[in-house]
Amino acid sequence: MADETERDSSDARARAEAETSEHVRAEPTRRKRWGLRIGTAVILVPLLLLSLWTAITLNFTYAAGDRAGYVQKFSKKGWLCKTWEGEIAMANIPGTMPEIFSFTVRDDSVAKELSKLMGQRVALDYQQHRGVPGTCFGETEYYVTHVKPIAP
């Protein structure tokens, strides 16, 4: 009977040691997981908010309208994100100083049409998107959606 008691107590001690060692081993893993979760949240939450803000500003139009004038400058610009940027000179009365309207074109077919009409009087349909983050979507907040030539 003494042998059985010793075996039971040694088994109980071994189980207790195993449980405490598993508990001690599990504690750093839990701490590492929380650190990983917090680090992931610190990176993903701002990226998600920036993506959401960008989607909202690009899909909702602040203003829309038409501008008419002579296309005087049009080029593709940017280091990484190439966008079509241009200017039209709007002169209501001949001999007066023209007002310059800067714009961005995101659609290549509109850019191709606008390149053909360089130097001619055109009417631009545009949408204004305020608060677009960065210059990757264009240097201006005026995005041209359609171009029409105006007969002299």
Domain total in the chain: 2
Is the pTM above the cut of 0.85? no
What's the mean pLDDT in 98-109? 92
Q: Determine the average pLDDT of the residues in 106-125.
A: 92
- Indicate if 40 and 109 belong to the same structural domain: no
Considering only residues 54 and 87, tell me which one the structure prediction assigns the higher pLDDT.
87
Say yes or no: 112 and 76 in one domain: yes
Q: State how far the alpha carbon of 62 is from the alpha carbons of 24, 52, 74, 87, 131, in Å.
A: 58, 17, 24, 20, 10
DSSP 8-state symbol, 5: H
On whether both 89 and 135 belong to a single domain, the answer is yes
Q: Are 80 and 47 in the same domain? A: no
pLDDT band at 9, cuts 50/70/90?
Answer: low
Q: What is the pLDDT of residue 84?
A: 94
Q: Give the pLDDT score at 68.
A: 92
**66 and 133 both lie in a single domain:** yes
Calculate mean pLDDT across residues 19-39: 65
52, 80: one domain: no
Q: With 70 as the cut, is the pLDDT of residue 13 above it?
A: no
Name the DSSP class of 98: P
141 and 73 in a common domain: yes
Same domain assignment for residues 69 and 85: yes
Same domain, 53 and 68: no
Residue 38 clears pLDDT 70, i.e. is over it = yes
Give the domain-ending residue among 38, 60, 82: 60
Domain span at residue 28 reads 1-60
Average pLDDT in the chain: 83
Q: Do 40 and 81 reside in the same domain of the chain? A: no
- Per the model's pLDDT, the better-predicted residue between 67 and 36 turns out to be 67
CATH of the domain at 84: 2.40.50.140
**1 pLDDT more than 70:** no
10 and 30 together in one domain: yes
For residues 69 and 22, membership in a common domain is answered with: no
Residue 64: CB partners within 8 Å, gap ≥ 6?
125, 126, 127, 128
Q: Indicate whether 2 pLDDT > 60.
A: no
